[in-house]
Structure 1
Amino acid sequence: MSLLQRADPAISSRSPGRRWLPFVGTTLAAAAAVGTVATLDPNRPGHYPTCPFLFVTGLWCPGCGTMRAVHDLAHLDLAGALARNPLTVVLVPVLVYAWVAWGARLAGRDLPRVSRVPAAVIWGFLVVVVTYAVLRNVPGWTWLSPA
């Protein structure tokens, strides 16, 4: 029995092929989402609904501009992505690392789990997101707005 199977009973109870299904499904869904956003420009009206938080409050939420940032990243426009949502640009490498680590663990490598992040890091991330949401709505701080 591999170290991976001893560490995670949910993985050890699945057949070798079936344990890859969530990873493959998530990969295909993410590729389809990024492909759609890369193809259908979110800067053009009519393709996507407006942010519900922005619609109701008139304020930018921490996620406002994320689709446009992903569109810019898909077209290798880092400056445009940073202008739309810098927090998204910072978090994309974290998500990519989590995805790679997940696949590596499924392949039998012993890597740290993103789900085992200390509580202080999670609370720190929450503070960053809330602070970012507040700062991007401060009058005169248009450099943080996705417009």
Structure 2
Amino acid sequence: MTGENQLVDASRTPDVLPPGTPPADSAHQVPPAPPAPPAPPRSRARRLAVPASYLAGAVAAFAYVGTVDPNEPGHYPVCPLFRLTGILCPGCGGLRSAHAFAHGDLVTALGANALAVTGYFLFAGFMILWLVRAFRGGPVPRIVMRAPYWWGLGALALVFVVVRNLSFGSMLAP
């Protein structure tokens, strides 16, 4: 059997042992290690520190965009895709949307970038869930999405881009 892999059963060959395993006839048998003690419970302030820092970063970003108006030229760079091709990407209008959202103008925010506003609400819902679970001492919420959902989100963003760049979808353009 040249060129084929052969499996060797280590239990039938006494001289082949897994690395780190002492021989069976050894006089010095090492007892198994005792289980590690459970970690002490973390305080409420420590559990809230990470989600609160994420929330503080988001609030600071919205406060900055709410203060520095993206509708005035010169404050923020222009979208490179729009500058080179004239095509609106899924993020075009996102800063104007965040500015209007920070000022409480939901209609203008939706007009600037409806996809971004949806993201703001999803982020807010996730943050509320995370903060409540951290406050109560529960597990960190995890977002686990299978590949079809990612493909679906990508298709949704692609449809959003195509529609907002066509004449009948001009209501989605910023």
TM-score tier, shorter chain, comes to 0.7 to 0.9
Larger of the two Rg values belongs to structure: 2
Alignment of 1:59 onto 2:87 = yes
Gaps of 5+ in 1: 1-11
Give 1:92's aligned residue.
120
* 1:1-147 alignment runs, 5 A limit: 15-16=42-43, 17-108=45-136, 110=138, 113-146=141-174
Shift of 1:113: 3.1
When normalised by structure 2's length, the TM-score is 0.67
The structure-2 alpha-carbon separation of the partners of 1:109 and 1:13, relative to structure 1 and needing over 3 Å to count, comes to closer
CA gap 1:13/1:64 in 2 versus in 1, 3 angstroms: farther
More helix by share: 1
> What is the CA-CA distance between 1:30 and the residue it aligns to?
0.7
Partner deviation per Cα, 1:88-129 (whole Å, 9 max, x = no partner): 222221110011111122123658935124443333222111
- Rounded to whole Å, the distance in 2 between the matches of 1:24 and 1:112 is 13
- AA aligned to 1:137 is N
Unmatched 5+ stretches in structure 2:
1-38
- Counterpart CA distance in 1 for 2:52 and 2:137 is 17
Relative contact order: is structure 1 or structure 2 higher (C-alpha 8 Å, sep ≥ 6)?
A: 1
Corresponding letter in the other structure for 2:50: P
Match of 1:3 in 2: none
Q: Decide whether the 8 Å contact of 1:72 with 1:80 is kept in 2.
A: yes
Alpha-carbon distance change, 20 to 134 in structure 1, aligned in 2, over 3 angstroms: same
Aligned residue pairs total: 135
Provide closer, same or farther for how the CA distance between residues 56 and 20 of structure 1 changes in structure 2, counting only shifts above 3 A.
Answer: farther
User: Structure 1 residues 110 and 53 mapped into 2: Cα distance closer, same or farther (>3 Å)?
Assistant: same
Alpha-carbon separation, structure 2, partners of 1:13 and 1:124: 42
